[in-house]
A = this chain, B = another copy of it.
Amino acid sequence: MRSLDSTITKLKAEGFKLTPQRISVIKYMEGNPDHPSAGDIYKALKKKYPGLAFSTVYNTLRMLQKIGEIQAVNIAEDHMNYDPDTSSHFHLLCEECGKIVDIPSSGDLAECFRSSEISGHEVKSYQINMRGTCSSCLCGSSDPQRRL
């Protein structure tokens, strides 16, 4: 997801309709670093757009996934999170504050997945998910953002 404009252009090119609800979801995701869940998106947008259904959020997310504008992050145990940054990077779920933070992809790591063939299997995609404590919680030991 580079920008609102490029995403909308892509939508049109792929033949999808531009409804206000879809645009609101796209706006919410664009540049959002918080890896929101479908529920987060629904709750946040429901205030502004009372006429918004849960299924519309899911449909829009699925559509954005299909055209490669967002990626689903399978790191939490009981729900999916969504990331507008589809470049190669990884995620850490902080066990203190519950946030999901981005981890840049190191050259060494990328090197391991250079080939699409690993142990005789064909690898089409991969995710690296970590758990631990994020830098904010490590420094500010008075944990200003503790949620758990």
Task: Give the interface of A toward B (CB within 8 A).
Answer: 72, 74-75, 77, 80, 92, 94-95, 101, 103-104, 106, 108-109, 111-112, 116, 118-135, 138
Contacts and interface: CB of A to CB of B under 8 A. Distances in A.
Instruction: Tell me which of A104, A111, A132 has the highest count of chain B C-beta atoms within 10 A of its own C-beta.
Output: A132
A121 B106 contact: no
B128 A128 contact: yes
B112 A138 contact: no
B122 A132 contact: yes
B128 A124 contact: no
A115 to B, nearest CB: 12
Given A108-B108, A112-B112, 7 more contacts: A92-B123, A108-B112, A109-B112, A120-B135, A123-B132, A124-B133, A127-B129
Contacts of A119: 103-104, 135
